[in-house]
Amino acid sequence: MLQIIELSYQSLTNAEDLIIISDLDKIDIMREEDPHTAVEHYDSILQTRNSPRAFYGKALALLQISRNVKSNKILESAIFNFKEVLALGKIVPDALFRLAGDEAIQQMKFRGFNTQAVKVIQTLIHRFPEDPMLKQTLGVQYLIIGDNKSAKNIFEKILITNPENGFALVHLGFILKTQSGDNLHELEMGVSYLSRGLATRAEGVLEGNFFFHLGDGLRRLGRFSEADAVYQEGADLNIFKSFWQRSIYNVDRLKSQPIWTIDETTYVSNLNNFVNNWKIIRLEAEKIFKARKFEAESENLKDSGTWNQFELYRQGRKLEKNCQLAPTTCSIVEKFEAAKTNRRGQIKFSVMLNGTHVHAHSGPTNCRLRAHLGLVVPDNANENNLKLRVADNILTWKEGELFIFDDSFDHEVWNNSGDRIVLIVDMWHPELTSHERNTLPSI
């Protein structure tokens, strides 16, 4: 054991550091117990020499302190010292360069410094051009910073040398599919890459997002039975909660059913407040609609027609300006804790004009339930010409009436009746604990 440690330490030690290796080793060992003193010792070495190991040890000590005292500032100095190792360039042994780079990336991502992380990955690729994992990491990091063009580029490059790289295939497919818009050729390419990539079962490909977009892409190409097979496969692999419920951000134990009664939600009086005031709510919605304040839905879910919305709350935040135009509606929301604090949902008016079809889709999370309150429903509307399908249930809207569904289940909307306005209220799934409601990241 001892020998292995010595060997690995040596692989981190360049010729200059070898001269002081026993000091460095001693400081490294005391670092666990006393990172503060270790920092002082590393610093005294760094006063007289550019020691890669001292920079690295200092970075690790600072990282440990930052965790103990929960300080971002100290974490940032740790990151700075990992970068110092990299800045020393050629004099740093390969193994140490790699360790410092990997740590820098991990800590930068944790701190949200995603663009800086891209630079470090590039530095590592420069040093280790043969390592395929680094290129994959760079591609993913480009996606994280929203640079899809560079991401596409790098995955294409990986596929030139390794055409069966499943990780690159699914990522390239994902990029093509999600940017395809009305471009059917690009959509087909995306679907084809996704499907080939998933078939490899390579590490990192069995992800909900890839099954989700492959199924969705196939559906949009009219290949429904293939889409269903993908969804079934995702369900069988426990990547989806079920064939119908395909949210990605889930809390596992929560009760899953497509349609809920008011009683089942437990939020009876809050929901009844909307019903009892529906006419005032409608007045507010109509006034906003007539003033042309609604905006187009932006998630590329619409197949045909017009589907616009006016948001009142987003991710648990009140949109003050918008609420000024809907004071009664927002005052009702204000009393509804599980809705106004829902960081995984929205509260909005939704208008759907005659001639609209919304592609089948499922919401991102099973942590919310979605109530719809009918405000304006055409006289001629019925379950054939104005309908919401949730899994294999058909719902329709009635003025002044409310229904609740779980939008993590596959759903689809058609309006061939007349113009329809509803109020949509997302609320926390009733089985979430208050701790979860306070800490789940927003969506």
Interacting residues toward ligand LMR by CB under 6 A = 350, 352, 358, 388, 407, 411, 413, 422
Binding part of the chain for Mn ion, among 53-61, 204-212, 218-226, 399-407 by CB under 5 A, reads: 399-407
Measured from the CB of residue 397, what is the shortest distance to ligand LMR in angstroms?
8
Shortest Cβ 407–ligand LMR spacing (Å): 5
Query: How many angstroms from the chain centroid is the CA of residue 319?
Result: 22
Which residue's beta carbon is nearest to the bound ligand LMR? Answer: 350
Minimum distance from CB of 358 to Mn ion (Å)?
A: 7
List alpha helices for 400-440, DSSP H: 434-439
Residue 352 interacts, among Mn ion, ligand LMR, none and using kind-specific CB cut-offs from 5 to 8 Å, with ligand LMR
Q: Which is nearer to ligand LMR, 358 or 381 (CB)?
A: 358
Region binding Mn ion by CB under 5 A among candidate stretches 5-13, 263-271, 275-283, 402-410:
402-410
Q: Cβ of residue 252: shortest distance to ligand LMR, in angstroms?
A: 23
* Least distance (Å) between residue 198 CB and Mn ion: 25
Kindly report the backbone phi and psi dihedral angles of residue 36, in degrees, each rounded to the nearest multiple of 5, phi listed first: -65, -50
Long-range contacts, stretch 84-90, CB < 8 angstroms, 24+ apart = 84/55, 84/59, 85/52, 85/55, 85/56, 85/59, 86/120, 86/123, 88/50, 88/52, 88/55
Of the pair 216, 407, the CB lying nearest ligand LMR is at: 407
Instruction: Compare residues 28 and 407 and give the one whose CB is closer to Mn ion.
Output: 407
Q: How many CB atoms lie within 10 A of CB 36?
A: 12
Tokens at 180, concatenated: 């395809």
Q: How far is the CB of 187 from ligand LMR (least distance, A)?
A: 21
Going across the sheet that includes 393-395, the strands are: 302-304, 356-361, 411-415, 386-390, 393-395
The H or E element spanning position 193 is: helix 184-200
**Nearest distance from C-beta of residue 327 to Mn ion, angstroms:** 27
- Greatest C-alpha distance within the chain: 89
Total residues contacting Mn ion (rule CB under 5 A)?
1
Encoded tokens for 372: 């719809």
Q: What is the 3-state secondary structure (H, E, C) of 235-280?
A: HHCCCCCCCCECCCECCCCCCCCCEECHHHHCCHHHHHHHHHCHHH
String marking each residue 403-432 x if it binds Mn ion according to CB under 5 A: ----x-------------------------
Residue 249: closest CA among 237, 240, 236 = 240
Residue matched to tokens 């974490």:
75
Comparison of 39 and 352: residue with beta carbon closer to ligand LMR: 352
Strand, helix or coil for residue 268: helix
Q: Which is nearer to Mn ion, 17 or 407 (CB)?
A: 407
Q: Which is nearer to ligand LMR, 342 or 350 (CB)?
A: 350
Closest CA to 61 of 31, 90, 81: 31
Cβ distance to ligand LMR smaller for residue 35 or 363? 363
Positions in the binding site for Mn ion (CB under 5 A): 407
